[in-house]
Structure 1
Amino acid sequence: MNKKLAGSAVVGVAILAIVVAQFWRGSDEAPAAAPPAPSPSAAQPSMEEYDFPDVSGGRGWAIRIPVPSGWVVTHQNDRASYRSGDLLLETDKVPITQEDTLSGLQAIAAKAHYDGSVVKPVEAGDIQDAAEWDYTYLRDGTPERVTVVGLGAGDSLVTIRFEAPPAEFDRDRGVLDAALKVSAPG
C-alpha cells in the first residue's frame, strides 16, 4: 500500500473521529420548542364583503366583515360559511321588510321557534343599526349554541352567525367578536 495513501486515510479517520465526538456529545442547550399551533380565534382574518350599489348613481358602499383565514370556506349565493372543526362562522345578506334590524331579526327568530331566543340591540363596528339573537338548538341530537348578529343595510339584513358546542362557545367567542369589527363607510 502506498505510504501517502495510508497517511491520508489515518488523517481522514482522525478528523472524522473529532467531528463525530463533537456531535455525539450533544449540546448543552435544550432544543427550541415548536411554536404552538394558532387557535381558531388567533388566525389572521380575511374579509367577506357585501356591496350595496347606490341606486341614484353615487359611489355605493360595502360592509366588510373580518373572517378567519385558514378555515374551510364555502359560498352559496350571498351566504359564506367558514368552518373549523365544530366551529362555524357564517355571513349572509337577506332582504327584510321591517323598518329596522331589531324587528327584522325578531321576525326571523319568531319563525324559528327556538326556546329561550332573545333578540337585543348591540354595537357592531361601524354599523349603527345592529341586533343580536342568542339561542340553542339540537343538531342531530347534539346541542349547538348560536349567536346571530344582524346588521342594518337599507332593505337588507347582513347577518353574522357563530355556532359552537356549548362547552366551546365561550372559549371561542373571540371568532365572533373579531367578525363584529365590521367596517362600512362613515
Structure 2
Amino acid sequence: MAAAVAVISVRGFAAMTITEVVRTARVSPNGFYAQFASLEACLMEAYDTYVAALVASITTALDAADTPDERIAAAIGGYLAALDGDRQAARAFLIEFDAVGAAARIKRREGVATFAALLAQEHAAMREREPALGALPATAYVAVSNGIRVQACDALETTSAPLSGLAPDIVRWVTALVRGAS
C-alpha cells in the first residue's frame, strides 16, 4: 500500500501504473494481485488505514485537552499534525484520491463524515458543560470538516510550510462558529 501511496502522491492516479507500483514496492505483479484485486482496491484499503490513523491522532490530542476551547484546538491540531507527519500520504488522499473514481469520492465523503461526527460529539459535550451554547445543524460539522480539508489541500499544493501553521486561523473560525451558536 505504501508504494501505491508514494506513486499516486507524485504522479497522480491517471499517470500511475501497476508496473510503477510493484517496482516501487519491490514485489512482483503476482505478489501485488495476491493482496489486492486492483490498484483501486489497494488505494481504497490504504485510504481506510489513513482515515483510522487520522482519527487516532485526533483522539490522542483530545485526550490531552480539558476545556472546550482546548479541545477545539486539540482536534484541529491533531488532524494537522497527522497530515504534517506524512505529507506524501496527505497529498495522496486529500488531493489525488478523488481521481480514483466514484468509489473514492464516496470514501472521501465517508471520511469527512467521520471527522464531522467527531466534531458533533465534541460539540455535544461542550453543550453539556456550557448549556448556553446553541445547537448546530449536522451540515455545520460537515462544512467545518470540508473547510479544514480545503485549507489543508491548498497549503499542500502551494507551500512546504508545516500545515500546523494553519491551526491558529482555523481554531479561531471554528471557535467563532461554535461560540456564535448561542
What is the TM-score of this pair, normalised by structure 2? 0.24
Larger helix fraction of residues: 2
Structure number with greater CO (CA < 8 Å, separation at least 6) is 2
Larger strand fraction of residues: 1
